[in-house]
């Protein structure tokens, strides 16, 4: 059975609300949760970007069952991989084994804040691979010394380690990232239901490992209100990751999506409360071989109505699918 997850989207809600929402998601029966790790929202209309790791620590203490995962953290620019390893180990202890560390090569939107320019896609993947190796080594215990192409680690050690380190997931968008994920990751992460990504991951050593997808949705009994909200806050998603990884701030996304219409948005995001529409949006992920699908409800102030509807209507239907 495909597991259905809930997304704590830091770009559209403040820290206290995010924790309240995941508590409700756990009560409603969502199988797992994921959390974005942003310094900026995609669009100013979203309006938030709290520190994801503080939110996760609070959520771990406020919940008892639901698993967590970063979706995703970039361990190369804004954070050094040695620091990411420490954060992940601590969160695994706080959550009593409910955490998975999702990693990716990042977006300029968030990583530009530390300066130094934005590397090319090839260099970003090189950095990600080296970072994953460092994090793995630190999870193994003992002192770590590393002098690599992109990072140095001087006499680092994690003093508080869980018995089982967090599984590591790697986000993919093409053949090279799929190869990296298949070789080095415990699970694969993607935002598009493309069978080719799963097949490439499997060929590189990923066969039998979990594969986690994500789908934006916009529930509202008033379909016109849902369409308007999806267009206002989520039209950025139509740009695709080759574009989304490069733009440096919300103003860039405003300009890039100037000509995206509400009708365009509806083509990518199920809107309203028709269960069949939501089912048909999820189906391609199931058919592509994803084992877990995290839903993103658009609108920070619309999470509780969505969770209530999902508990009664959406989750039972999706589990039959």
Active site positions, annotated: 38, 107
* Sheet strands (E) in the chain: 3-8, 32-35, 68-69, 99-103, 144-147, 152-156, 168-171, 187-190, 211-219, 271-272, 292-297
Rounded to 5 degrees, φ, ψ at 144 are: -120, 125
- The residues that bridge with 187 in the sheet, in sequence order, are 169
Three-state SS sequence of 253-297: HHHHCCCCCHHHHHHHCCEECCHHHHHHHHHHHHHHCCCEEEEEE
DSSP state of 164: S
CB atoms within 10 A of CB 274: 11
Of 270, 260, 276, the residue nearest 218 (C-alpha):
270
CA 199, chain centre distance (Å):
21
User: Roughly what angle, to the nearest 10 degrees, separates helices 81-94 and 52-62?
Assistant: 10
Q: Is the dihedral of CA 239, 241, 242, 245 positive or negative?
A: positive
Residue 274, phi-psi category: left (phi > 0), alpha (psi -120 to 50), beta (remainder):
beta
């Amino acid at each position: 059975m495909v597991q259905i997850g809930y997304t704590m989207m830091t770009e559209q809600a403040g820290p206290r609300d995010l924790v309240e929402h995941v508590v409700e998601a756990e009560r409603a029966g969502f199988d797992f949760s994921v959390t974005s790790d942003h310094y900026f929202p995609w669009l100013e209309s979203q309006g938030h970007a709290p520190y994801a790791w503080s939110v996760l620590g609070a959520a771990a203490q406020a919940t008892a069952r639901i698993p967590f995962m970063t979706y995703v953290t970039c361990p190369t620019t804004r954070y050094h991989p040695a620091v990411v390893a420490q954060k992940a180990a601590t969160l695994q202890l706080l959550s009593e084994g409910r955490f998975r560390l999702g990693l990716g090569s990042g977006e300029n939107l968030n990583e530009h804040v530390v300066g130094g320019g934005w590397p090319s896609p090839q260099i970003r993947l090189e950095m990600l691979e080296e970072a994953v190796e460092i994090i793995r080594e630190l999870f193994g215990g003992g002192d770590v010394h590393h002098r690599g192409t992109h990072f140095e680690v001087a006499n680092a050690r994690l003093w508080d380690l869980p018995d089982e380190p967090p599984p590591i997931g790697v986000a993919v968008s093409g053949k090279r990232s799929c190869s990296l994920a298949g070789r080095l990751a415990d699970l694969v992460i993607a935002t598009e239901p493309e069978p080719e990504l799963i097949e490439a991951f499997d060929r590189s050593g990923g066969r039998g490992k979990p594969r986690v997808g994500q789908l934006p949705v916009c529930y509202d009994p008033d379909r016109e209100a849902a369409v308007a909200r999806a267009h206002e806050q989520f039209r950025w998603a139509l740009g695709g990751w080759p574009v989304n990884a490069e733009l440096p701030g919300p103003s860039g996304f405003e300009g890039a999506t100037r000509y995206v219409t509400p009708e365009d948005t509806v083509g990518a995001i199920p809107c309203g409360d028709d269960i069949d529409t939501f089912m048909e949006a999820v189906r391609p992920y199931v058919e592509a071989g994803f084992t877990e699908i995290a839903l993103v409800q658009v609108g920070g102030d619309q999470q509780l109505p969505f969770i209530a509807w999902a508990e009664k209507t959406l989750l039972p239907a999706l589990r039959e699918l």
